[in-house]
Structure 1
Amino acid sequence: MLTLGIEEEYLLLDPATGLPAARAAQVRRAAGLQPALEHGEVQRELLQAQLEVATPVCRDLEEAGGHLLRMRLALGEAARQEGCRLAACAAAPFNDRLPVPVTDTVRYRTMHTDTRLLTDEQLITGMHVHLGIPDRAAGVTVMNGLRPWLPLLIALAANSPLWQNTDTGFASWRTLVFGRWPVSGPPPVFDDAGDYDRLTTLLVESGLIRDLGQVYWHIRLSEHFPTVEIRAMDVQLRADEAVMLAGLVRALATRTLADADAERGIPPIEQEVLSAAVWHSARYGCTGTVFDPLSGRLTNPDDAVARLLDHTGPMTDSGVDRHVVPVLHRLLREGNGAARQLRRLRSAGRDGLVEMLIDQTTGV
């Protein structure tokens, strides 16, 4: 079974107004005093109203879920001590007239100089799943195999319908915002690891991007660890939804590697078709039709998920049965984070939405 790790990015919000709170440095210091948090688990992010956590390498989903709950609760307490709250919504729903300051590092200051408004508007947060791989060749196989499933994963994970005090009409506005970077969205199909390294090196050596850290594809190979990183999904309101998505990703990757060994698999999807399907998922989430990579057509979410589970079925274990299937079915019944945010805003107003974001983030 492939090892996995989960990274989550969070926003810091003012509990009274729901506005982004630029208190990341203070919260990070307070987090260092939390006994439940290990050194280095809380990381800085681009803007001073964002923080990131990363689980250790995990072998099963229960272990990953335990770490996420531990870190969310401890970091949430650190935020409370500093007068703000932790929120796992993938875009800041409300904003002030002044931008949130950039985090004071050389890298982030340079990004702000290069792309001022784009950086200012990067008040978005995602979740990243790292899968341990034996080598980069296997990583490219996983990248190619997961490409067709990106639209469905984005639809299930959509959790950013609100932006700058407005209902955007999109389920995942974060997907649109992140798609403005020069190397982003679905990756191309690669022949092998050498092909991947050739293209990414060319992007840097040509001066089009500053370094390999600015390869923002939805899936990429890590340059620091023996992992492939899936970064297409919005951060999740509930920790168990993050675990569910990580379990789906790992099951799909495991099936991909098994299919490669047997010289079978899903045919590649044309880049323009895949990009359009990602846009469709960002627009509608799970409220309309979703793209089914097995048929290459739009279908209803229940049927697409049933086909996904059937596809990964031979690769499932008891962890998937406990941590993926029930949560996935609950999401289809109750709606993803985007649907629940809008429903709460309409029923309870701005204050009710902020309360929900805070409560569901820390599992209250």
Structure 2
Amino acid sequence: MRSATPSTLGVEEEFVLLDADTGLPAPRIGAVRAAARHGPVLGGDEVDNELLQALVEVATPVCTGLDEVTGQLFRLRQALTEAASACGCRLAASGAAPLAARVEVPVTGGRRYREMRADAGQLVGEQLIAGMHVHVGVPDRGAAAAALGQLRPWLPVLIALGANSPYWQGGDTGYASWRTVVFGRWPVSGPPPFTADAAGYDRRVRALLATGVIPDRHQLYWHARLSEDYPTLEVRAPDVQLDLDDAVTLAGVVRALVATGLRRARGGARPLDPPPGVLDAASWHAARHGLTGTLVDPRRGAPVPAPEVVAALLRHLTPALDELGDAERVTAGVRRILDAGTGAARQRAAFAAAGADGLLDLIAPLPQPPH
């Protein structure tokens, strides 16, 4: 039965701008944003810059269902592809820039990003990575913290399902999600710590800020976190997705994870809290292998064939998926990823078949002419 008040959600997608001729990162965010603003489809506040000038981000409005998410992401992707093309760029739906930059890509103008460059050095220069962030509406900050505690053991499975960044600096990294590895080098990153409630979460954050190592809460780069700007729980584990269907599938998985976490917390269910280091190891393993081989089963802390762990995730989410009316769509989408392969697997297949040109055609297709 469909819920009368399904949780709201919104999706942010980051993309890499590549030069249309060379396939190298193109620092043209200013021109792309200007082109997008002058088009009839995108609003002025829907396209944003990121840390480096070869990255761009778009965000959907608040949505109430996956059909709405689908329509919004289609509109944003299509319009941004056309704006990028007008500036001599290809919009790459890959978690990392696959070809080597010949020159350093500058940071986007703004004091905060300039200070990050001065503070973090080469790490900032290597942030040519793109993720997908899903915000799910929650009743309050306390509920968000409780849901986060419930869902955190499943985040490595999301990394595996969403892995879409095998290539970096002109070569195959051997990883399914190299973005996860790059992002994991920030001082506050990776799996979120376990906290029992919002007070515990905020104490942890205050202690981190007190070190002076990070300047603000926006540099809490955990795979999931309480949003500081919206009444949402934000899940940041997946790479940006190759195609719309996979993006919508993962958005549905994330919404169901949050809904399940909220329900379990209300019912007093004891959350899984793996020993220190286990979630880090599970996340690294998921980034390394994606869905090939094994994943660490969050219920047992042991390696299990990846399809079995994904099936366990779907069983865990079934009541929430049924209530939200998403069961058929999300289950079919997850099966498609299992059958067709993650974005990383499809990138490798495209490169094996047609080299760099085939890879670029897959991750950064050119705009389609109007019919």
TM-score range, shorter chain: over 0.9
User: Paired residue for 2:105, among 90, 93, 100?
Assistant: 100
Q: Amino acid of the residue matched to residue 340 of structure 1?
A: R
Which of 113, 119, 122 in structure 1 is aligned with 2:124?
A: 119
1:358 maps to which residue?
364
Q: Is the 8 A contact 1:88 1:361 kept in 2?
A: no
Q: Kindly report which structure 2 residues correspond to 1:255-294, keeping only aligned pairs within 5 A, or say none.
A: 255-294=260-299
**Among residues 334, 340, 344, which one is paired with 1:338 in the alignment?**
344
Alpha-carbon separation, structure 1, partners of 2:341 and 2:360: 18
Aligned AA for 1:28? R
> Which runs of 5 or more structure 2 residues have no equivalent in the other structure?
1-5
1:38 counterpart SS class: coil
* Residue pairs, 1:51-62, within 5 angstroms: 51-62=56-67
CA RMSD of aligned residues (A): 1.6
Q: Distance in 2 between matches of 1:360 and 1:147?
A: 37
Give the letter for the 1:217 counterpart: W
Secondary structure of the structure 2 residue equivalent to 1:298? strand
Q: Residues 188-210 of structure 1: CA distance to partner in whole angstroms, max 9, x if unpaired?
A: 11121111111212222331211
Give the direction of change, closer, same or farther, for the CA distance of 1:15–1:240 in structure 2 (3 Å limit).
same
Is 2:75 the counterpart of 1:70? yes
Contact preservation (8 Å) 1:156, 1:285? yes
| Seq. identity, % | 53
Q: Distance in 2 between matches of 1:329 and 1:228?
A: 26
Deviation at 1:324, TM superposition (A): 1.3
Aligned partner of 1:187 in structure 2 is: 192
- The aligned residue for residue 29 of structure 1 is 34
In 2, the alpha carbon distance for the partners of 1:125 and 1:360 equals 19
Using the size of structure 1 for normalisation, the TM-score is 0.96
Secondary structure in structure 2 of the residue aligned to 1:290: strand
Q: Distance in 2 between matches of 1:361 and 1:162?
A: 23
Whether the aligned pair in 1 keeps the contact of 2:150 and 2:264 (CA below 8 Å) is no
SS of residue matched to 2:159: helix
Which residue in the other structure is 1:43 paired with? Answer: 48
Deviation at 1:159? 0.4
Q: 2:114 is matched with which residue: 109, 115, 122?
A: 109
How far off is 1:340 after superposition? 0.5
Corresponding letter in the other structure for 2:56: L
Shift of 1:271: 2.9
1:224 maps to 2:229: yes
Gaps of at least 5 residues in structure 1 are: none
- Residue identity matched to 1:94: L
Please tell me whether the aligned partners of residues 278 and 301 of structure 2 are also in contact (alpha carbons under 8 angstroms): no
> 5 Å matches for 1:164-183?
164-183=169-188
Q: CA deviation at 1:301?
A: 2.1
1:156 Cα deviation after fit: 0.6
Aligned amino acid, residue 158 of structure 2: L
Compute the displacement of 1:265 (Å): 4.5
Partner in structure 2 of residue 235 of structure 1: 240
Q: Is this contact kept in 1: 2:147–2:265, CA < 8 A?
A: no
* Residues in 2 aligned to 1:323 and 1:83: alpha-carbon distance in whole angstroms: 36
Deviation, 1:44, is 0.7
- Structure 1 residues 270 and 361: alpha-carbon distance in aligned structure 2, compared to 1, 3 A threshold: farther
Contact 1:157/1:337 (CA < 8 Å) preserved in 2?
yes
Secondary structure, aligned partner of 1:128: strand
| Pick aligned residue for 1:296 from 285, 295, 301 | 301
**1:210 equivalent in alignment to 2:215:** yes
Letter of the structure 2 residue corresponding to residue 347 of structure 1: A
Are positions 1:246 and 2:251 aligned together? yes
User: Of the candidates 317, 323, 329, which is equivalent to residue 323 of structure 1?
Assistant: 329
